[in-house]
Structure 1
């Protein structure tokens, strides 16, 4: 027994010695043989919410499951639960777009002195970490924008928007570049859990960018108050500062889409591709174009763009659509190296919303929702006939006619008041804003009956203000030539159906009332979509007449339009602000409302819209063109008013497929 005890003691001592040796060896294992320290970080993005906080269709005044932050919120909750190491970012175009955004703007800056803007209430509830300025944040002026931002419980960033007083070097970031409107970037300090379960402090730099075109689009609010920088130049200027300030990773948040240029022009609107080439950016959360990345066909076949995996020039990037219909997610795996944290792996995803809704978010905004609906249902009169944009790109339609009638009425009132030369003829330019670009339901359709403020939201989507330009007959012709880019070139020799519409926003298809003209899409486009003259010998606009007589190059006209177009939006020739003769602070929607009241007061409460078929699309005999359109029963009705137009079927997205056979009278007689 004593021998066994001695053996046991000896064995125990041996185990202790060997164990100690093993422990000592473990402490001396080279660091490069240890498991690396890794942290998974999740970036979440919303963009282009346009004040659609609820799953609610303000055009039809009914719930919808197709969009709304109340739906997106459920995806946010899911994504956070999957990874506690997350930040949530909004990428702008937040406060304008829906009727609730209009209602809040109508209350004015004073309303926000003791209240939080309803859109900010929603984002505060969801605990956003940071947000970027979009171009539509400037639509209501700087005072309203800053009063709105004051209610945010998270920082705002924009690295390329500054106060015009560039000599003002006060402030943390001012330096030689001037004083930024908001912080150009922030560095978020977050304690995240690594793969081992230990806590690691990660410094996430977030830098934002806004399209420089705000200086044209909202010139009436920003002139002499704001100056802008090129987005890429701003990134190159600030990102080294962010690294020097301790940012472990840098997330770029451009309110800008993807476009590849033969040579990058400074101050470009779409610059996300070029930003991906700036050294030091680890991820890109972009937007502005209302597209999905990865996934949208608009981004197919672009060099160095992976539209399946979600990479732009090797940088993980995401763009989650618009109105909250998707959530953007980038997952980064960070590994601690001798020189700091580095991204060693990544994955990109866009998630579509579903039927679930965040009831707490809905309840949070019920008072503002009720006030919005009350505003929308304020009557202006009785509409005598349907107003629609169902076929507004193949014939003159009542939706555009009503806008042009109201704008022309307003300018004639200014002439009567001595504000504008009374001898100049008045024309008006307007476009079909809702023409199927967002969905098969995205068409203006206001049936005969009560005409309300809510119908104005359906008719005129944007909070544009009315402006007046003075132009020659030659300039008017070029305006229309640019507008004719809406059509592809049609081959008069082909017998099979040809697509009619080009990739050209319907809001840039201006129709000018007060003159008559024809459009011939068999001719090549005279201008590129960027406004460059590409075929000086080509003309699509013919038979341009005023009062039945040919328009001469030297004739002069007053043309009512909106601030976007008058200031250069859409890259139209001679529309760069230099031809402005009158700047109004009246929103076009308000002008339409005043016009409707004026007409109903003098017409026993009735509002009538008489369509002037002042332009014609000329399709050669027996040539067949094809286009997507509304699938509605109203469209089926109106289709029969257009000779040689018939419906071929329905596509996979739910649009009606229409074909139009060219005849001399195919689009000229109704």
Structure 2
């Protein structure tokens, strides 16, 4: 939920995000369309209600109208599609927010049997329009779908009687109903991304098979934070990345955090029989900022003053809260090198998790078992851009630093796993690394398509990773047949980990609920815990006294298997240049910034 361009973690402006900037583009596009006599509809495609420190202020003042909805009202939105993260704070909170919305909310593949939900399964919008000198009534049907995995990811805050439908089945069913209700055009707000070309039940990213349905005329996609159109291309045969078409259908995917305005321009002609033909279409992305030759962002859209006024109270309260003291640190904490070197910020979160679960093991089957903690980087660049890294300097800490280190609203979970499952857990994480040919001197360290938040580092054991070996798992968690995998020499306290050895691992609700497809966790035994927010636990850990280097207390978890003469490129934030001492023994050269503004550091394996 980036309503303005203010970065609450760093206390500086980010010209590349914010609905206040997108709002300026919306108004310009609307004026252009009206000048041509066009009908204009404005939609949001989900995951708008959370994702920034503004969330906490909103949760603590539930009687206030949500600042996002104020902004939607100012801009004149016609409908809101729901995304999976909109359910992160539970059903009661979501219903309360949506009941004050200035426009209808839609979700076509989640049901609440016997309960009145605050969203609709579909929407019909009527507009009077002029075609060939005659006035006509245009009926536009709107549906919205999200990943059916939403119920599993948020199982800890959603009721058991909620039901999720397969995306394709829900789209086909709802689109046909809209057609029966007289809709000449059907728009899908599809909170789903590019994935498999053929349909399988309950796909998370079902955009390609969805676009093959004849009942759909236009699609607004999302969920994966990618861009479409995107001249850099895609390897999907059914996708035209330049024109923004999938199976010939116009599709727009406008990034994330208000980075782009997506526009689909449909040229409709009345067919004389009460219907409409789509004679042509055009798909366009308009960015709020542009990167220059050295990766620097330049603002293209100033922030809309009326949006800033609408959110001013919530914005000011959030900034005040973010400045509240939280402790001190004697060492800098950052995530620039999470994929190649010891990360103190992850280790600090791991310590907080392990400390929190130990009292709840007494008197249980887990008492006396070794306690470990799994933590993945929360801010790792990727699709969020080169400024999206944790970067906390040594010295006084405030709440904004805590949020920078752990921005998610995850809760603590604990499981008992075997040594064999532990190894599989690490093998799944190691899929992040691109396969490296031993002796090569170029190539990326990490797979760009592998989310960094699925790179779990398990503290309390040690191991080596061999990136020259093939990965053991596909991204969906399916095991790749053959090969030894990438994990070598897995040990605890210097002794090899045996397959039947048992451990307690502290993790989070997202991972245990199936996030990231870590199938090893299906073989785990959960230990009951009260509801404990990991961000709160981290704040408590900081309050214990000045933070020192966690690796004075914990073993460094992992390193690469030595591959003499092998070099790879680490793609990280420009701020990494202030911490090159942390790459001792690995750093070889700084190869400058790429076109997206990421620093390219050559490291030796």
Once the two structures are superposed, the pairs formed by residues 2-21 of structure 1 within 5 Å of their partners are: none
State the Cα distance separating 1:578 from its structure 2 match: 5.9
Deviations 1:230-265 (A, max 9, x none): 01001121211111111110001110001124x422
State the Cα distance separating 1:419 from its structure 2 match: 6.8
Counterpart contact for 1:639–1:645, Cα < 8 Å: no
State the Cα distance separating 1:535 from its structure 2 match: 2.8
Give me the whole-angstrom Cα distance separating, in 1, the residues matched to 2:209 and 2:529.
35
Give me the whole-angstrom Cα distance separating, in 1, the residues matched to 2:318 and 2:364.
35
Give me the whole-angstrom Cα distance separating, in 2, the residues matched to 1:407 and 1:642.
30
Once the two structures are superposed, the pairs formed by residues 73-112 of structure 1 within 5 Å of their partners are: 73-84=23-34, 85-105=39-59, 107=60, 111-112=61-62
| 1:528 aligned counterpart, secondary structure | coil
Partner residue, 2:293: none
Q: Is structure 2 residue 138 aligned with structure 1 residue 189?
A: no
Q: Is structure 2 residue 304 aligned with structure 1 residue 367?
A: no
Give me the whole-angstrom Cα distance separating, in 1, the residues matched to 2:305 and 2:98.
25
Once the two structures are superposed, the pairs formed by residues 140-539 of structure 1 within 5 Å of their partners are: 140-163=89-112, 165=113, 168=114, 182-194=119-131, 196=133, 198-261=134-197, 263-295=198-230, 297=232, 299-337=233-271, 338-353=273-288, 354-415=300-361, 418=363, 421-437=366-382, 438-492=384-438, 494-502=439-447, 503-539=449-485
Deviations 1:569-608 (A, max 9, x none): 11112224963223543221111112222x22xxxxx222
Give me the whole-angstrom Cα distance separating, in 2, the residues matched to 1:342 and 1:194.
12
Partner residue, 2:295: none
Deviations 1:72-102 (A, max 9, x none): 0001101111123101000000111111123
Partner residue, 2:12: 62
Partner residue, 1:45: none
Structure 1 segments of 4 or more deviating over 6 A? none
Aligned residue-pair number: 584
Counterpart contact for 2:25–2:301, Cα < 8 Å: no
Give me the whole-angstrom Cα distance separating, in 1, the residues matched to 2:576 and 2:566.
26
Counterpart contact for 2:366–2:416, Cα < 8 Å: no
TM-score after normalising by structure 2 = 0.93
Partner residue, 2:292: none
Give me the whole-angstrom Cα distance separating, in 2, the residues matched to 1:548 and 1:119.
52
Give me the whole-angstrom Cα distance separating, in 1, the residues matched to 2:471 and 2:87.
33
Q: 2:3 aligns with which of 32, 39, 53?
A: 53
| 2:308 aligned counterpart, secondary structure | helix
| 1:407 aligned counterpart, secondary structure | helix
Distance of aligned partners of 1:577 and 1:192 in 2 relative to their CA distance in 1, 3 Å threshold: farther
Counterpart contact for 1:161–1:181, Cα < 8 Å: no
Give me the whole-angstrom Cα distance separating, in 2, the residues matched to 1:383 and 1:194.
67
State the Cα distance separating 1:192 from its structure 2 match: 2.7
Q: 1:121 aligns with which of 70, 91, 95?
A: 70
Give me the whole-angstrom Cα distance separating, in 1, the residues matched to 2:566 and 2:73.
56
Question: Comparing 582-591 with 367-376, which one deviates more in the overlay?
Answer: 582-591
State the Cα distance separating 1:637 from its structure 2 match: 3.5
| 2:96 aligned counterpart, secondary structure | helix
Once the two structures are superposed, the pairs formed by residues 635-650 of structure 1 within 5 Å of their partners are: 635-638=578-581, 641-650=584-593
Structure 2: gaps spanning 5 or more residues: 289-299
TM-score after normalising by structure 1 = 0.84
